[in-house]
């Protein structure tokens, strides 16, 4: 486990919103899993991969295509803790885009399987909220929230 990618769990309860601090690229990054209800659920597409975000800040990530994995890395869902990034004011970070908004989100593997063929413990991703109200995942070309 690389120190730069290890998880430092700190729960701060300022203003009623829980904060989880991840160490990502040697920096403490404040995140929260208490977000708008629209983000919770299972994102999937036409293949077998998916992202599931639970209300308690845990979930699962399963790649559509499993390739170039280290020996012993199993093709199974990755157990995760997750959080949307917070800015210096404790607000959820979002970026305005031509299609709508993107929200940076960090996933931290918590089981025996991790990201990029068991080479990385953390993954930075983006949830994309389109102007039509659909929500997609940037790490897959067709994953959308299934309602």
* Separation between Cα atoms, residue 86 and residue 104, nearest integer Å: 9
Is residue 4 one of the residues assigned to a domain?
Answer: no
Structure tokens at 25: 């690229």
Q: What is the pLDDT of residue 16?
A: 56
* 3-7, 51-55, 64-68, 137-141: least confident range: 3-7
**Number of domain units in the chain:** 1
Burial of 123 (0-12, 13-18, 19+ CB in 10 A): buried
* Separation between Cα atoms, residue 135 and residue 22, nearest integer Å: 24
Is residue 124 one of the residues assigned to a domain?
Answer: yes
Is residue 128 one of the residues assigned to a domain?
Answer: yes
Give the pLDDT confidence of 76-101 residue by residue, as tens digits. 999 999 999 999 999 999 999 999 99
Give the pLDDT confidence of 30-82 residue by residue, as tens digits. 999 999 999 999 999 999 999 999 999 999 999 998 888 999 999 999 999 99
Q: What is the pLDDT of residue 5?
A: 31
Is residue 16 one of the residues assigned to a domain?
Answer: no
Is residue 10 one of the residues assigned to a domain?
Answer: no
Instruction: Report DSSP letters for 73-142, one per residue.
Output: --SSPEEEEEEEEB-TTSPBP-EEETTEEEEEEEEEE-SS--HHHHTBSEEEEEEEEETTS-EEETTSSS
Element (H, E) at 13: none
Predicted TM-score (pTM) of the model is 0.87
Is residue 11 one of the residues assigned to a domain?
Answer: no
* Separation between Cα atoms, residue 130 and residue 101, nearest integer Å: 7
């Amino acid at each position: 486990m690389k120190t730069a990618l290890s998880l430092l769990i700190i729960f701060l309860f300022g203003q009623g919103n829980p904060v989880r601090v991840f160490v990502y690229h040697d920096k403490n990054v404040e995140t929260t899993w208490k977000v708008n209800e629209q983000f919770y659920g299972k994102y999937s597409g036409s293949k077998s991969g998916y992202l599931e975000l639970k209300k308690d800040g845990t979930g699962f990530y399963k790649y559509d295509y499993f390739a170039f994995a280290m020996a012993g890395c199993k093709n199974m869902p990755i157990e995760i803790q997750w959080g949307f990034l917070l800015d210096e004011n404790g607000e959820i970070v979002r970026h305005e885009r031509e299609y709508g908004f993107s929200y940076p989100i960090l996933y931290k593997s918590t089981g025996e399987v991790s990201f990029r063929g068991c080479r990385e413990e953390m993954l930075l991703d983006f949830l994309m909220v389109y102007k039509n109200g659909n929500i997609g995942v940037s790490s897959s070309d067709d994953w959308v929230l299934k309602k």
